[in-house]
Structure 1
Amino acid sequence: MSERVIPGQGGLISLGAADALWSGLTGDAAVPTAAAAVTCSPASARVGYVLLGSRVVATVPAGGGQWSVPEVEVRRAAAELNSVGVDRRELVRIGPFRGAPRQGHREGTLLRWRQRIARELQEPAHGRVARRTSHLAGVDWRRVLVKQTDGQPAESWWLPRAVVRVLDGAEHAERQWRQAARQPSEAVTEPPSPHRQAQAADSWPTTSTDGPSTALRLYNGELQGQLYSVLSRKPGISGKVAGWRCAVCRTAPAAVLDHCHEHGYVRAPVCHSCNTQERPDHLYSNDIRVAGHYTRLFETHTADWLRHWHRCSGCRARTTLPLPHLAAWTACTACRPLRPAHRASRGSRGSKPCGLLRVSWTGSQNAPRSCLLTVAVDFCPSGEHRVLARVPYREAVERFRTWLAEAAPDVAAAAGPDRLDGLPARPRPVIADTTSEGLTLF
């Protein structure tokens, strides 16, 4: 490639030169990269930036319809990607998932890498050439994509965990960039999140003149103590569930039976909105991103959710929560004072927590001495994966019990170690939802 740095442009190089530089610098990287990361779809210089690895690189008009990028930013992105190690045996499932985006859905310019991969792999073979996505944030994901069948009629798709982290980081960086630039197109090109949909669903009317909702009855614990594995197979159970109001919001019609995966007991019939709201945000099987909806679960609607979780006989007897929920509570409540903060943007006062809160664990709640929760902050300026605390499972349980007695004394009073009769002798392990299929898991 004969293109060089453009003189007199403050270190700007053309898009073609950026492609050549990116390929040359990342040729030996563990994460495979694409040859045309800046000039080929889905990269688009016209939106003001391109994604290279987990970094946003600004684009600058160069006149005559041409665009440039800062050479130093391309080098920084390449150096960051080169530092990533990849274990191709450590895989994360990325699809296919129920409720995947339909063909023809408007992508816009957002990365949304999971949706893009699903959309391409689900297309008929004869239609892939015209819409072939050449790369994602400069990463050639096809070279590390693994397809497995595991005896199932449909194949599943997997990527190395390190590559998933890079692409997740790219989505986060893009979101932060667009928010800082206050681009109004964000609201148009990005579909509403499940949490926004949940808030909208909470506003459903409690009565209807042309539907059966006027006959909905309140749930009064009729299914308490029943095992989901047994109850879910009974004929007509779906129609019976639809006859209740949601046991959490008490307004929308119930649609699913929420149950505890650790003990197997039914909690209550709930609506899709509340079931989505309550579901942990698994990044991987033992890794949770502590998203904004946990504020509602552990702060604004605490008593309602604690009462709902303790409808499980096992959780109520042991005065605890399922491991994913306990981990999220430990991160966003018990470790809140440890989270670093930085000054807010110009024109506003005070400070705000920086980065994204995450909690992971090793071991099992069924072997509490070996189970350890690790609370960390991703994308923190003082350290991208800054560890805030490592909390043993037993300590997390004791903290929760103390907090429960203060936050919801009536729920705490109903719990206790003297209610172990009838519980399974060997509790079921946590079933981590790495497939994102079905929102009735938690």
Structure 2
Amino acid sequence: MSERVMPGRADGLITLDAADALWVDLTADSAVPTASAAFTCSPAHARAGYVLLGSRVVATVKASGGQWSVLETEVRRAAAELNAVRMDRQDLVRIGPFRGAPKKERNETTLLRWRQRITRELQELGESERAVRREGGGPSHLAGIDWRRILVERTRDRTARTWWLPRAVVRLLDVAEHTETRWVQAARTCQENTAVPEPPSHPRQARDAGGRQTTSPKGPGASLRPYNGELEGQLYSVLSGKPGTSRRVAGWVCAVCRTAPATVLDHCHEHGYVRAPVCQSCNTLERPDHLYSNDIRVANHYARLFDTDTDDWLRHWHRCPGCRARTTLPLPHLAAWTAHIACRSLRPTHHAPRGRKPCGVLRVSWTGSQNAPRSCLLTVAVDFCPSGEHRVLARVPYREAVERFRIWLAETAPAVAAAAGPDRLDGLPAQFRPVIADTSGEGLALF
């Protein structure tokens, strides 16, 4: 622990400089890299009454002499929560840039909005200046996390570049952004009901140097509730047009991971029904990797969807009445399942240091649509295979793919299969809906 940290002071308050040093000391072995100026460098604004550390809000109070301070115990709690986060550096989520993403005003005093902050900073910095910053220039962080050390930049055709962060960090920053928003909203409500407004502090009571007690609004995550099918059978096109829907969505916890706050309404793009409110991380994991409108790459995250957390994802997809009644999946997901599961034995392998390894990249395309099952055909291929750049593994008719999926579903997730079937067609549209475009857009917007 740094010498500047002096435990035992009145009420355990320490200066912001001391809190910076303590934060770095406590998180030195964390899987998520942290910044050295979490309390004193932008976007931290202690005068706002709080500082974000990971997904936790840490209150700031004015001590004697007008100096801003924080409770040492709260810094330690935030560090312990961050140290418990496990991060897979290979499990990446694209965070930008996205075409058509809404532009935010350049105002450093606004809320975290971490995606916009990263996009703005990387777009404005030149290559040389970016290198100087990365090597130790002006410090910058997000909720105490040094995002520069884990940002992955990918370039295509020497012009288009994309930015990626580990999924664990994306989920952590999403929670931080949601927590801050709810905290500020609660603080404003508290101030409106108080004759003399005071800066928000931690939910636990704290005392300033004069001995006066300050109490905070209700904890920001206290009102999150589990999703229990309240939106079942409702159409996304209807809900997205109703005022107050986004506020209602923000009150739920993600229906898939059940840990992060929900931020978007996931819906079936073929039948139009809402599935459930989910967090940005799960929404990204669920989205197929389209190369074209009828062509997708079967990325590594499908191993998690169909091998690791299978029951949860199948149950989530079957929240759509159309998919549940027909005991199938939306066409892109069914195509990915066919390539990843049904054609697994057909994929070529090559020698690797630890046995044999599947080679190339799986890709599946289709002709026709699920609206004309007799003419719909799935073509599974391997790109960049040593034995052929675009080697075709199989051509599977849509109806055969559906039947294979039904058999696999009954064996893999019998509870999900038992809740599906052709006897549950009540309330479905008389005619199939056409494939619905991805209305969530490149910017991963709420609606």
- Answer yes or no: same fold by TM over 0.5: yes
Amino acid at match of 2:124: G
CA distance in 2, matches of 1:200, 1:293: 19
The corresponding residue for 2:425 is 420
Shift, 1:201, TM fit: 6.2
CA distance in 2, matches of 1:227, 1:428: 12
SS across alignment from 2:337: helix
Distance, in Å, in 2 between the alignment partners of 1:376 and 1:196 is 31
Partner of 2:164: 192
Specify the alignment match of 1:390 in structure 2. Answer: 395
Shift of 1:96: 3.2
Asked whether the equivalents of residues 98 and 443 of structure 2 are also in contact (C-alpha less than 8 Å), the reply is no
Q: CA deviation at 1:113?
A: 3.0
Q: Which whole-Å deviations, capped at 9, do the CAs of 1:58-112 have from their partners, x for residues lacking one?
A: xxxxxxxxxxxxxxxxxxxxxxxxxxxxxxxxxxxx9834279542356689761
CA drift of 1:407 comes to 1.1
Q: What SS does the aligned partner of 1:112 have?
A: strand
Quote the Cα distance in structure 2 between the aligned partners of 1:396 and 1:383: 25
Question: Do 1:282 and 1:433's aligned partners in 2 also have CA atoms closer than 8 Å?
Answer: no
1:290 is aligned, of 287, 298, 322, to 298
Q: How does 1:164-179 map to 2 (within 5 A)?
A: none
Which runs of 5 or more structure 2 residues have no equivalent in the other structure?
Answer: 1-96, 103-115, 132-151, 184-201, 204-218
Pick from 316, 321, 340: which aligns with 1:313?
A: 321
Structure 2 Cα separation of the partners of residues 268 and 242 of structure 1: 12
| Structure 1 residues 193 and 357: alpha-carbon distance in aligned structure 2, compared to 1, 3 A threshold | farther
Paired letter, 1:262: E
| Paired position in structure 2 for 1:266 | 274
Aligned 8 A contact 2:246 2:446 in 1: no
Aligned partners of 1:195 and 1:276 also within 8 Å: no
Q: Could you report, residue by residue, the CA deviation over 1:317-339 in whole angstroms, capped at 9, with x for unpaired residues?
A: 00000000000000111100000
TM-score by length of 2: 0.56
Distance 1:113 1:105, change over 3 A: farther
SS in 1 for 2:228: coil
Deviation, 1:233, is 1.3
- State the match for 1:96 in structure 2: 99
- C-alpha distance in structure 1 between counterparts of 2:349 and 2:342, whole Å: 16
Shift of 1:365: 0.5
Q: Which amino acid aligns with 1:296?
A: R
**Cα deviations by residue, 1:206-263 (Å, 9 ceiling, x for unpaired):** 9996652122100110110111111111111111110010000001010011110111
Partner of 1:257: 265
Q: Which residue pairs with 2:237 in the alignment?
A: 229
Residue aligned with 1:213, SS: coil
Alignment partner, residue 364 of structure 1: 369
Distance change >3 Å, CA 405–CA 323, structure 1 → 2: same
Q: Relative to structure 1, is the Cα distance of residues 307 and 111 closer, same or farther in structure 2, using a 3 angstrom cutoff?
A: closer
Q: Give yes or no for contact 1:313–1:423 (8 Å, CA) kept in 2.
A: yes
Match of 2:409 among 404, 413, 416: 404
CA distance 1:391–1:295, change in 2 (3 Å) = same
Determine the C-alpha separation between the residues in 2 that align with 1:413 and 1:441: 32
Mapped partners of 2:250, 2:356: distance in 1: 46
Q: 1:197 to 1:355 in 2, by over 3 A?
A: farther
Deviation, structure 1 residue 431: 3.1
1:431 aligned counterpart, secondary structure: coil
* Gap change, CA 1:195 and 1:325, over 3 Å in 2: farther
1 CA distance for matches of 2:344 and 2:126?
Answer: 39
Count of residue correspondences:
275
C-alpha contact (below 8 Å) 2:294/2:365 kept by paired residues: yes
Shift of 1:279: 0.3
1:327-338 matches, cutoff 5 A: 327-338=335-346
CA RMSD of aligned residues (A): 3.2
Corresponding position of 1:381: 386
What is the Cα deviation at residue 429 of structure 1?
2.0
Partner SS, residue 245 of structure 1? coil
Determine the structure 1 residue equivalent to 2:442.
Answer: 437
Q: Aligned pair in 2 of structure 1 residues 226, 387: CA closer, same or farther (>3 Å)?
A: same
Please give the alpha-carbon distance, in whole angstroms, between the structure 1 residues aligned to 2:172 and 2:349.
Answer: 31
Distance 2:403 2:99 in 1: 39
CA distance in 1, matches of 2:158, 2:230: 40
In the TM superposition, what is the alpha-carbon distance from 1:439 to its structure 2 partner? 3.6
Which AA in structure 2 matches 1:116? T
* CA–CA separation in structure 2 for the residues paired with 1:424 and 1:440: 28
C-alpha distance in 1, partners of 2:250/2:379? 40
How far 1:422 sits from its partner (Å)? 1.1
Given that residues 205 and 252 in structure 1 are in contact (C-alpha distance below 8 angstroms), is that contact kept between their aligned partners in structure 2?
A: no
Match of residue 248 from structure 1: 256
Q: Unaligned 5+ residue runs, structure 1?
A: 1-93, 119-189
> Which one of 300, 308, 314 corresponds to residue 300 of structure 1?
308
Distance 1:429 1:441, change over 3 A: farther
Counterpart secondary structure, 1:375: strand
Could you say if the C-alpha distance between residues 95 and 203 of structure 1 is closer, same or farther in structure 2, counting changes exceeding 3 Å?
A: closer
**C-alpha distance in 2, partners of 1:216/1:359?**
39
CA contact (8 A) 1:262 1:322 kept: yes
Match for residue 18 of structure 1?
A: none
**Percent same amino acid at aligned positions?**
73
For residue 155 of structure 2, the aligned residue among 112, 118, 130 is 112
| Deviation (angstroms), 1:117 | 4.5
